Structure 1
Amino acid sequence: MDLSQLLDDYLHYLKAERGLSDNTIASYGLDLQHFILYLQQNQLESLAKINKQVILDYLGQLTKEGKANASIIRCVTSLRKFFQFLRQEQLIENDPMTLIETPKSEKHLPEVLSVEEVERLLVTPDTSQTLGLRNRAILELMYATGLRVSEVINLKLEDLHLDVGIIRAMGKGKKERIIPIGDQAIKWISAYLDNSRPILCKNKRSPYLFVNFHGERLTRQGIWKNLKNEVKKAGIKKNVTPHTLRHSFATHILENGADLRIVQELLGHADISTTQLYTHISKKRLSKIYNQAHPHA
């Protein structure tokens, strides 16, 4: 069977039977399309020709192309799951991935804003303008809750319970969690709901909290683009992404005495080891402050 057809069958299986998200399926698809292109360029389209050495040569090619370690790890995962599917469907007798080890990930501490930098960023949007007020509400919400950008864009009006200071978020794996929200975020979200959102929606009715100028749900790219503009106006030189606010939220509440298990619950981490990354950030910042402040450091 043609490899492209096999890939289509596999992606359909991921959606129909495994119920994976569109983003995850798209990610697997891009990795496997790149692999199939490599096979075609090297006259290796037949499944019978794909063995451990072919896989190793391909991964070596990715390294030569300068692919990031994280990208190669993701590619190995994509290939592993694809060949498991082919084995399951009895399209191959031997899985070439069984003897391929997954590269170890490089541990990088994420970028974190200081409290002063966050404050500068929050006051940057021009709240006298319709979009500025919306952007202020988004920034306040993200810093107050540590929500992922995907969770922010999928928030619906029915998820808000501002009168009791909580919101409901749907995280990875469709896991629901309840998150407290502070007075400042409530204030700016309420102002957005009263003054900006009706103007943006015009005559449209959208269930989503944050909408664009056409009254449609704001996208990940829209939030990323708006954040970049606000960061530039705030004069912050760090590489800030929507996830930076999530990292900053977790780091700041840990530094102020929050329990690690509470932070895990707030962030929606399935594994506490993921949350423990933020303790390393706090220690690194502590050392930096000590070295700057102590006369004999």
Structure 2
Amino acid sequence: MSSLESVQVEYTRYLEKERNLSEHTIRAYLGDLEGFLQHLEKQKVDDVASITIAHIRSWLANQQVKGGARTTLSRRAVSIRLFTKWATKKGYLNKDVGATLATPKGHRTLPEVLSVVDASTAMDSLATRVAEEETPLSKRDCAIVEVLYASGARVSELCGLDLDDVDYNRNTIRVLGKANKERTIPLGGPAIKALNDWLKNARPSVATDKSARAVFLGSRGGRIDQRTVRTVVYEALSALEGVERMGPHGLRHSAATHLLEGGADLRTVQEILGHASLATTQIYTHVSTERLQKAFKQAHPRA
């Protein structure tokens, strides 16, 4: 007999040490498992070996009644399937009761993206701010937004950039993505120019003994954090007409969409974004189609 609590501790170690998952993913999986185990306790189930497919289905049904989104239910089903597969392999379950669990299909929400004109306007306004203010942080903020839009990098990847990751000969940056997968991303001329301006003409005046090799720094000299980057992007895009509150991920979506609209193939965009699956990248083809249809309806007299 294995208590739910002791198995949960062992499973946590498995996710952290063996699966090499991101901190965010581990937190989501453990949150789902915690909810499921609480449901089991209410069902008077205190032994892992007693878990059945009916327990899992009743938990998911309970979540649905409470208004859980289909995408959330889908993720929770995946979480529990991973847990039961592990528990079976470890001998806590006689058979994998979650293997036959169907995953609720989530509605795919198409990401909001900037138009090419809006993206250009945002970059131009940042360059204007740099020219007017000539402050280290204005140069930093301009470089941050330019690099995010040029590369489609995740905010965590941008914050993790070190000086050695910038290659001026090839105009590329090297980032560490999910599951510690490294990839190289090309940057365009404006992004390289803004980055070079920050690193050579502004970073030295902000740097302290806490800066180490970090490319982007906070106002106190330490490596910049994700919250600060989000604030920078929010403020940079806030003046654009008709654009809802958009953060770094919106720039990532915009970069991917504009690459595809410009003729890049899916495999190339997949490589740039660091997607493990091509299916994840394909959502941007739907975004482009929607934008095409919208433009057609607005512009064609017989639309």
Whether TM-score is above 0.5 comes out as yes
Alpha-carbon distance in 2 for matches of 1:158, 1:78: 37
Alpha-carbon distance in 2 for matches of 1:67, 1:135: 37
Alpha-carbon distance in 2 for matches of 1:216, 1:185: 22
Compare 115-124 and 10-19 and name the one that shifted more: 115-124
User: TM-score normalised to the size of structure 2?
Assistant: 0.89
Deviations 1:20-39 (CA, angstroms, capped at 9, x unpaired):
33222222111111222222
Alpha-carbon distance in 2 for matches of 1:10, 1:151: 28
**Structure 2: which amino acid aligns with 1:186?**
I
User: TM-score normalised to the size of structure 1?
Assistant: 0.91
Q: Displaced runs of 4+ in structure 1, greater than 6 A?
A: none
Partner of 1:106: 107
**Structure 1: which amino acid aligns with 2:248?**
P
Task: State whether structure 2 residue 244 is matched by structure 1 residue 243.
Answer: no
Question: Any gaps of 5 or more consecutive residues in structure 2?
Answer: none
Partner of 2:265: 259
C-alpha change, 1:43 and 1:213, in structure 2 (3 Å) is farther
Aligned residue for 1:110, secondary structure, equals coil
Partner of 1:62: 63
Task: State whether structure 2 residue 97 is matched by structure 1 residue 86.
Answer: no
Deviations 1:1-42 (CA, angstroms, capped at 9, x unpaired):
332221111111222223333222222111111222222344
User: Is the 1:130–1:196 Cα contact (8 Å) retained in structure 2?
Assistant: yes
**Structure 2: which amino acid aligns with 1:218?**
I
Of residues 174, 179, 195, the one that matches 1:168 is 174
Question: Any gaps of 5 or more consecutive residues in structure 1?
Answer: none
Alpha-carbon distance in 2 for matches of 1:42, 1:277: 40
Partner of 2:196: 190
Partner of 1:33: 34
Deviation at 1:204, TM superposition (A): 2.6
Alpha-carbon distance in 2 for matches of 1:14, 1:47: 18
Task: State whether structure 2 residue 23 is matched by structure 1 residue 17.
Answer: no
Of residues 124, 130, 145, the one that matches 1:139 is 145
CA RMSD of aligned residues (A): 2.1
Alpha-carbon distance in 1 for matches of 2:222, 2:143: 17
Alpha-carbon distance in 2 for matches of 1:29, 1:278: 30
Of residues 258, 278, 301, the one that matches 1:295 is 301
Compare 28-37 and 162-171 and name the one that shifted more: 162-171
User: Is the 1:111–1:239 Cα contact (8 Å) retained in structure 2?
Assistant: no
**Structure 1: which amino acid aligns with 2:11?**
Y
Partner of 2:96: 95
Alignment size in residue pairs: 297
Compare 192-201 and 8-17 and name the one that shifted more: 192-201
**Structure 2: which amino acid aligns with 1:56?**
R
Deviation at 1:249, TM superposition (A): 1.0
